[in-house]
Amino acid sequence: MSIIRKSHSSLLIFLFIALTVLLAACGGGSGKTNSSPSPSPSPTASPAPAAEEKSAATAAPTEPPKPALETTSLSIGTARDTQLSPLIVIANEEGYFKEEGLEVKTELFAAGPDVIAALGSKSIQLGSSGDIPPIIAKASGLPIEIIAQQADISGVQTLVVNPDKIKTPADLNGKKIAFVPGTVSEAFFLRIAEKYGLDLKSIESFKIGPTELLPAFQAGNIDAFSIWQPVALNGVKKGGVALLTGKESHVPGEEGPQQLISSYSILIAHNDFAAKNPETVKAVLRALNKSVAFIEANPDAAAEHIGKTLGQDAADIKTLIALNHYALNLTPELVTALESISKFLKDNEKIKEVPDFKSFINTSYLKAVTPELVTIP
């Protein structure tokens, strides 16, 4: 019996060992001996959804669509000079208005008062003017508002004189002097008279248009004239001398910087148009802000655009635009300058009351487009 049990146990042990070897041969072990392991999933297949989610989460957000424009067609008035027209001209030439969905017709006038008159008649919807014409118009009750600056134009206001007759400001007494009435041209002349104590009763004043100044000067009908650029530059080319500018003295022995006047060109809207077309006004400001950047980055190309539109030499234009600082900013400095010139106009009986600039300047449009450009409290 013991021999039979021993043989039976040995047989069981043998069968167990054989079965273990067989399982190992069939891949039942650790798999190190399996030359053809079953394929495992690709290591990049399962993370794909997570990668897609991460990509979507980090992608730059798309800009919301711009509100629909109330109108896509409008006229903007400006003058044939480098103080009022550059931002508008460049926005047309570089296609910035079209990028904003606008079809803009640029109306060129002789001077700021003509721009404001057209705005009052609603033949144009927006206008770029020097600061004095809109101040006078607002003080007279015209429903207009300032929506942006265009440029600091103090440096281009110039007194051109006949050097044979006038060498110092005192020599202006008893002479014939011309200026454009109701503009910074007149205000600049009055500032000069005030600073240098001129006898206005002895001076024969001529109130004429900007296109008439140079012919009158060349003919000897006037001895000096106060004007902006490029008329002043053309006067110098014809034998005149720039005795004073808004920011500099060329008086012999008194050469150097001095602030005779602070002057700005500004963008004006008729109240009715702006109130009914706020998105269109904002689109115009977006386009003009691109023009500011273009002038700073490409002065040569800017001069070419402006010269072509105004019919003037690009080299001269480049010289003149360097005298201005172009910007849309609505700042406390701008308000201070406008209030100062308004008080000056009132003191000289050009207006009866100084406008309320808190209501005259509408910051809402520029603030909606580029809020950092608005620093008025």
Q: What is the pLDDT of residues 21-71, one digit of tens each?
A: 333 444 444 343 343 444 444 444 444 444 444 444 455 556 667 789 999
Which amino acid appears at position 130 of this protein?
Answer: G
Alpha helices in the chain (DSSP H): 2-25, 48-58, 86-93, 96-99, 112-120, 132-139, 184-196, 210-218, 231-237, 271-276, 278-297, 299-310, 314-321, 332-347, 357-360, 364-369
Q: How far apart are CA 210 and CA 226, in angstroms?
A: 10
Number of H helices, E strands in the chain: 16, 13
β-pairing verdict for 144-152 and 264-270: antiparallel
Nearest to 258 by CA among 266, 267, 247: 247
* Residues 235/121, Cβ–Cβ less than 8 Å: no
Report the Cα 332 to chain-centroid distance in Å: 17
In this structure, what token pair is assigned to residue 289? 């802000």
Residues of the chain under the 70 pLDDT cut: 1-64
- What pLDDT, on the 0 to 100 scale, is given for residue 61? 58
Q: How far apart are CA 67 and CA 86, in angstroms?
A: 27
The phi and psi torsions of 44 (rounded to 5 degrees) equal -100, -5
In this structure, what token pair is assigned to residue 299? 């002065």
- What pLDDT, on the 0 to 100 scale, is given for residue 348? 85
Report the Cα 328 to chain-centroid distance in Å: 4
What Cα–Cα distance (Å) separates residue 77 from each residue in 9, 109, 265?
Answer: 115, 7, 13
Residue 287, CA atoms < 13 Å, CB-side half-sphere: 26
- What pLDDT, on the 0 to 100 scale, is given for residue 182? 84
- What pLDDT, on the 0 to 100 scale, is given for residue 54? 44
Q: To which residue do tokens 């006898």 refer?
A: 199
Nearest to 71 by CA among 259, 359, 283: 283
* Residues 312/89, Cβ–Cβ less than 8 Å: no
Q: SS3 for 303?
A: helix
Residues 6+ apart with CB under 8 A from 278: 70, 364, 365
Q: How far apart are CA 185 and CA 232, in angstroms?
A: 11
Q: How far apart are CA 132 and CA 268, in angstroms?
A: 12
Examine residue 230 and say whether the peptide bond preceding it is cis (omega within 30 degrees of 0): yes
Q: How far apart are CA 224 and CA 167, in angstroms?
A: 11
Q: How far apart are CA 63 and CA 2, in angstroms?
A: 94
Q: Which residues pair with 266 in a beta bridge?
A: 129, 149
Which amino acid appears at position 298 of this protein?
Answer: N
Q: How many residues does the chain have?
A: 377
Q: How far apart are CA 105 and CA 71, in angstroms?
A: 13
The phi and psi torsions of 145 (rounded to 5 degrees) equal -145, 150
Nearest to 177 by CA among 154, 155, 198: 198
Nearest to 135 by CA among 88, 182, 86, 193: 182
Q: How far apart are CA 159 and CA 172, in angstroms?
A: 11
- What pLDDT, on the 0 to 100 scale, is given for residue 198? 97
Q: How far apart are CA 340 and CA 354, in angstroms?
A: 9
Nearest to 362 by CA among 72, 76, 126, 64: 126
